[in-house]
Chains A and B, each alone.
Chain A
Amino acid sequence: MKTPIITLEGVHKRFVRKLDAAERIANIFGAGLKDQVVRAVDDVSIDIAEGEVVGLVGESGCGKSTLGRIVSGILDASEGTVRFHGKDTMEMSGTDRRAADLAIQMIFQDPMASLNPRMRVIDIIGEAPVVHGLIKSSEKDAYVSKVMETVGLDPTTRARYPHQFSGGQRARIGIARALAVQPKVLVCDESTAALDVSIQAQVLNLFMDLRRELNLTYLFVSHDLGVVEHISDRVAVMYLGRIVELASTEDIFTSPNHPYTRALLEEVPRLEARKKKFTSLKGEIPSPLNPPSGCHFHPRCPFAFDRCSVDRPAFKQIAPGRMSACHLNDEPARGAGTTPERVAAYPTPALP
């Protein structure tokens, strides 16, 4: 087997708010206050093969953006290893680490907030390749024009400022900036969420064209299951810092294993639905400051039983190429995965 381009092994990310002076004084008098710890990413392991598109879905606050930032090297993991082409990024030499950071580029959600409003497009796109020595500054003009053409922007507009472009064009500038350093992997964090449907379609098509032309690998972070379904080869579903299911797009959308995946799919509005009665998953995603014990999903899960509130379910293989973290898979009597009884108890979304 070929080495995956990106490997995450037991990655954790904790954000800690330390006690302030008043709270520390209160503790002297026995208040017993503790640091507040958010486990944004909690023991995540995933491989991404070269040329693959992996979709990462979940609700707001589930840690999917944090995971995207760890992959792209913007944040360092609190624990665990991130490997690029099999090499641990934390143990790399300075030059290797820089090369890895360049090879993994990120495209952000809000194209207005991620472009410097006081820089011209030619500098936004051309600055990084000059700084990193990919091109000479005398070549910048021609190089930027070439990159702009790749993403479908008119090179004659390169002297303009971001505010002179429409939302869809700004998204393309963001993509061009990432492509300018010739990356291998693009981490797209909700990159089409702020766009209109017709512009979103243009940008998604551009992503797919670029993948073909440049053999890019994508980690596509999104809460929009329709987009993820369209673009991804494999999909990882995250809930409260943990990946609960990972499988091929086909499997996830036709026979979801984890009750959370199932519930999530059920609630995706579909074009084919007519005057449907919207059902709803009870409750909201719990606070990551104080996550539920055992399986994080058990308070909202219609199939939860006593073990779910105690044991954390292992994230393990349930079929070739399919991973899931659910105790139901160990308990055939309760109906694992997609047995007829479970389907009856929790109807699958109507698929065309």
Chain B
Amino acid sequence: MTAPVLDVKDLSVTFHTREGVVTAVNEVSFAVKAGEVLGLVGESGSGKSVTGLAVLGLIDPPGLIAGGSIKLNGRELVGLPEKDLRKIRGKEVAMIFQDPMTTLNPVLRIDTQMIEAIRAHDNVSEKAARARAADALARVGIAAPEERLKAYPNQFSGGMRQRVAIATALLNRPAVLVADEPTTALDVTIQAQILSEVQTLCAETGTALVWITHDLSVIAGLADRVAVMYAGRIVEEGSVAQVLEAPIHHYAAGLIGSVPSRNKRGVPLAQIQGMTPSLANLPPGCPFAPRCAAATEICRRVMPEAIGYEGGRAARCHHPLSSPTPVAA
């Protein structure tokens, strides 16, 4: 067994707001190995993006990493001073954001931005950096990269901008790449292009990928493992086949059921009643209990512990849906 590149244990992130302390990420644990793709799935407000930002050390006040550890290649990132984080960020762990227009600086040319990213971490000449930037653009399928380097972000289309952002993120061959909904704003054809490129690049460089999305169908085709988040917690984790074919948690099952798919045409979609609870005002027990058809008294009172099941999966549910054998802790 290879040691995981990224090992997150019991991570909690809180935000101090006027309504009190909100725990956006609550005791989240996951690990990603080199070359592996982990899909982090959840709806708005489930804490998936905050988890991604925490890995990069990008939680700013009023946010705070309240507990837990994030280990990158065995090195603890939580509590590291900003000076050291800057050396790691963009070098060993990089991030792609949803909206490439806000990622790229609109008043600087692409070359300025990419060369800066290279020279921030490597002591190379500008010429060498430019060659590397052009090479990186070529690898994400941008034609005439030397020419395009001189362009401004507004001269690129949405899909092209996202490619530039991906090329920039992969410039220093990071060990871990966190991608926060990078294809949500794109058309299916462009999404397929980006997915195919990210797939190839990560396979080539052995980069571990954390793909954050609300779209289960993308995860189905892209990821090895999937973690489903709800109200700040990972409620189920396992291989893509395990979770999508035989989910344990009722929320995961509901999420899969609500994807419109061809075998259920004309029939009402399985829908989850109600809506995601406010993080500032979570029920004492399982946060999903008010929307769950199988909820009983215990669900409303006691927060279910994460239980490990056979086949390396885990879930937090008092009434598991399918019945895999629990692994004794």
A226–B259 contact, CB under 8 A? yes
In the complex, how many angstroms separate the beta carbon of B38 from the nearest chain A beta carbon?
13
Please give me the residue from chain B that is nearest to A223 by CB atom: B187
Main secondary structure of the interface of B (DSSP, over half): helix
Stretch at the interface among B4-12, B268-276, B300-308: B268-276
In the complex, how many angstroms separate the beta carbon of A313 from the nearest chain B beta carbon?
20
B258–A264 contact, CB under 8 A? no
Does A3 make an interface contact (CB < 8 A)?
no
Give the one of B224, B241, B256, B259 with max A CB within 10 A. B259
Does B127 make an interface contact (CB < 8 A)?
no
A205–B269 contact, CB under 8 A? yes
Contact with A along B232-256 (1 / 0, CB 8 A): 0000000011001000000000111
Does B27 make an interface contact (CB < 8 A)?
no
B187–A280 contact, CB under 8 A? no
Q: How far is the CA of A59 from the CA of B264 in the complex (A)?
A: 25
What residues on A are CB-neighbors of B264 within 8 Å? 230
A197–B216 contact, CB under 8 A? yes
Residues 175-213 (chain A) with a chain B CB within 8 angstroms: 196-202, 204-205, 208-209
Does B192 make an interface contact (CB < 8 A)?
yes
What residues on A are CB-neighbors of B220 within 8 Å? 269-274
Cβ-defined partner of A198 (8 Å) among B160, B258, B265 = B258
Does B17 make an interface contact (CB < 8 A)?
no
Q: How far is the CA of A115 from the CA of B240 in the complex (A)?
A: 39
Q: How far is the CA of A263 from the CA of B189 in the complex (A)?
A: 8
What residues on B are CB-neighbors of A231 within 8 Å? 260
Q: How many residues from B make CB contacts under 8 Å with A? A: 48
Please give me the residue from chain B that is nearest to A194 by CB atom: B44
B262–A253 contact, CB under 8 A? yes
What residues on A are CB-neighbors of B257 within 8 Å? 201
Cβ-defined partner of A166 (8 Å) among B187, B195, B271, B275 = B275
Does B20 make an interface contact (CB < 8 A)?
no
Q: How far is the CA of A197 from the CA of B276 in the complex (A)?
A: 12
Does B215 make an interface contact (CB < 8 A)?
yes
A226–B192 contact, CB under 8 A? no
Residues 269-322 (chain A) with a chain B CB within 8 angstroms: 269-281, 284-285
In the complex, how many angstroms separate the beta carbon of A317 from the nearest chain B beta carbon?
24
In the complex, how many angstroms separate the beta carbon of B260 from the nearest chain A beta carbon?
3
Contact with A along B18-54 (1 / 0, CB 8 A): 0000000000000000000000000110000000000
Q: How far is the CA of A269 from the CA of B240 in the complex (A)?
A: 14
Does A72 make an interface contact (CB < 8 A)?
no
B188–A204 contact, CB under 8 A? no
Please give me the residue from chain A that is nearest to B224 by CB atom: A275
Cβ-defined partner of A270 (8 Å) among B43, B196, B221, B256 = B221
In the complex, how many angstroms separate the beta carbon of B217 from the nearest chain A beta carbon?
4
Does A1 make an interface contact (CB < 8 A)?
no
In the complex, how many angstroms separate the beta carbon of A213 from the nearest chain B beta carbon?
13
Does A78 make an interface contact (CB < 8 A)?
no
Q: Contacts A167-B44, A278-B192, A284-B190 hold; do A269 and B262 have CB atoms under 8 A apart?
A: no
What residues on A are CB-neighbors of B268 within 8 Å? 205, 208-209
A271–B192 contact, CB under 8 A? no
In the complex, how many angstroms separate the beta carbon of A12 from the nearest chain B beta carbon?
24
What residues on B are CB-neighbors of A223 within 8 Å? 187-188
Mark A residues whose CB is within 8 Å of B.
Answer: 59-60, 166-169, 196-202, 204-205, 208-209, 223, 225-227, 229-231, 249, 253, 263-264, 266-281, 284-285, 351-352
Given contacts A198-B272, A226-B259, A253-B262, 11 further A-B contacts (CB under 8 A): A198-B254, A198-B255, A200-B260, A201-B257, A269-B217, A270-B261, A273-B217, A276-B221, A278-B192, A278-B199, A352-B261
A-B contact pairs, 20 of them (CB 8 A): A60-B158, A196-B214, A205-B268, A205-B271, A227-B260, A229-B260, A230-B264, A264-B188, A267-B189, A269-B195, A269-B215, A269-B222, A270-B221, A271-B216, A274-B220, A278-B199, A280-B196, A281-B189, A281-B193, A284-B189
